[in-house]
Amino acid sequence: MTLTDNRLDGLDHDGGLDELEDEAITIIREVTAETRAPVLLFSGGKDSAVLLHLAAKAFRPGNLPFPVMHVDTGHNFDEVIEYRDRLVKEYNVRLVVASVQASIDAGRVVEDTGPRASRNRLQSVTLLDAIAEHQFDAAFGGGRRDEDKARAKERILSFRDRFGQWEPRAQRPEPWNMLNAKIRTGEHLRAFPLSNWTELDIWRYIGREEVPLPSIYFSHRRVVVERNGMLLSVGGPVVAEPGEVPFEETVRYRTVGDASCTGAVRSTAANVHDVITEVAAARITERGATRADDNFSDSAMEDRKREGYF
């Protein structure tokens, strides 16, 4: 029995999607009820798209009782910004934009220089500043435990101290998945309603619910350079280095992040069904395939989480 057989087999039946949806909606309602000023972090990526879809469902026919926040690195794909603004209108939600460029301009962070500089790490500071400025006490995120070995150890409700830091040894136990949202002034919570979802669950749910996504998730022609085994879109923050020859390729993105360090994969998957088939057959996790920032070291994700990264 191969992986592909295993995973494709699950496509014909619901495979627990209803249960995952019930669990996520229950978490979203509970955290909303137990906190004073929650916010939903929206990157324009597929996980946050599913999160927003679930949050809207949780309070129907009422409106979403909290705003969404986009941490804008300034290194965006145009398609993602267009998509973000369209969704905000469709769901009738209030959008807060936290700008990494503004953090740089204000001298809160210093940008790395050179052709490979990424703003992904700088997001932590901007995010924490925005949480403080708007006095949010809980932030919903699309993190999943299957993404990374450090995330596999994270609770549904993740406690952050006054410095926004995650301390894996001092996490609150969650017996029976009971959520304890009690915090003191200056502390805040991250809530992960998609904790128990896998990448395949996300895609199957997107297919079932017809959740809209940015077009870059599906195959298109794009000019790229190949760097460290990843295909980076040329233009914007990525500049071809000496010896790199840009070429046009049929690609799609598996994650949406800072354009400087999010790689595309060769793919002809043009719709959700194609993508599900591709994901089911994939041999590399999505972060490993497309995120240069996680490949810095074996503990890259853990280090950034401790700093306050999502």
Partner 1 sequence: MVLRIATAGSVDDGKSTLIGRLLHDTKTVFEDQLASVEKASLRYGDGSLNLALLTDGLRAEREQGITIDVAYRYFATPERTFVVADTPGHAQYTRNMVTGASVSDVAIVLVDARNGLTEQTRRHLFVASLLGVKQVMLAVNKMDLVDFSQDRYDEIVAAARAHATALPAPVALNPLPISALLGDNVVDSSDNMPWYTGPSLLRQLETLELDDDHSIGARLSVQWVIRPYSTEHHDFRGLAGRLTGGTVAIGDRVRVLPGAQQSTIVSIERGGVPQETAEPGEAISIQLADDIDISRGDVVVTVAAPKPPVVADQIVADVSWMVDKPLEVGTRWIIKHLTRTAKAFVSAIETRHDVSTASQHSTERLELNDLGRVHLNVSVPLVVDLYDDHRPGGAAILVDEATGMTCGALMIRGFDGLES
Instruction: Please report, as ranges, the residues that interact with partner 1 according to CB under 8 A.
Output: 1-3, 5-7, 9-10, 15-16, 18-19, 21-23, 25-26, 29-30, 32-33, 57-63, 145-146, 148-150, 152-153, 159, 168-169, 171-178, 180, 182-184, 187, 195-196, 198, 282-285, 288-289, 298-299, 302
Q: CB of 298: closest distance to partner 1 in angstroms?
A: 6
Contact 125, 102 (CB under 8 A): no
Contact 298, 304 (CB under 8 A): no
State how far the Cα of 268 lies from the Cα of 89, in Å rounded to an integer: 31
Q: CB of 309: closest distance to partner 1 in angstroms?
A: 15
Kindly tell me which of 215 and 295 has the beta carbon lying closer to partner 1: 295
State how far the Cα of 267 lies from the Cα of 249, in Å rounded to an integer: 9
State how far the Cα of 101 lies from the Cα of 111, in Å rounded to an integer: 9
Kindly tell me which of 163 and 247 has the beta carbon lying closer to partner 1: 163
E strand residue ranges, 85-185: 95-99, 138-140, 157-160
Kindly tell me which of 33 and 270 has the beta carbon lying closer to partner 1: 33
Which candidate, 194, 209, 196, 197, places its Cα nearest to that of 272? 209
Hey, what are 40's tokens?
Answer: 């939903």
Q: Cα dihedral sign for 71, 74, 77, 78?
A: positive
Q: CB of 201: closest distance to partner 1 in angstroms?
A: 9
Hey, what are 124's tokens?
Answer: 């932590």
Contact 166, 158 (CB under 8 A): yes
Q: CB of 223: closest distance to partner 1 in angstroms?
A: 26
Kindly tell me which of 1 and 110 has the beta carbon lying closer to partner 1: 1
Q: CB of 104: closest distance to partner 1 in angstroms?
A: 30
Hey, what are 271's tokens?
Answer: 């719709």
Backbone torsions φ then ψ of 237, nearest 5 degrees: -75, -20
Q: CB of 128: closest distance to partner 1 in angstroms?
A: 19
Kindly tell me which of 139 and 279 has the beta carbon lying closer to partner 1: 279
Q: CB of 302: closest distance to partner 1 in angstroms?
A: 6
Kindly tell me which of 77 and 205 has the beta carbon lying closer to partner 1: 205
Q: CB of 155: closest distance to partner 1 in angstroms?
A: 9
- B/e letters for 98-123, b = 16+ CB within 10 Å, e = fewer, are bbbeebbeeeebeeeeeebebbbbbb
State how far the Cα of 19 lies from the Cα of 152, in Å rounded to an integer: 20
Kindly tell me which of 98 and 200 has the beta carbon lying closer to partner 1: 200
Kindly tell me which of 15 and 236 has the beta carbon lying closer to partner 1: 15
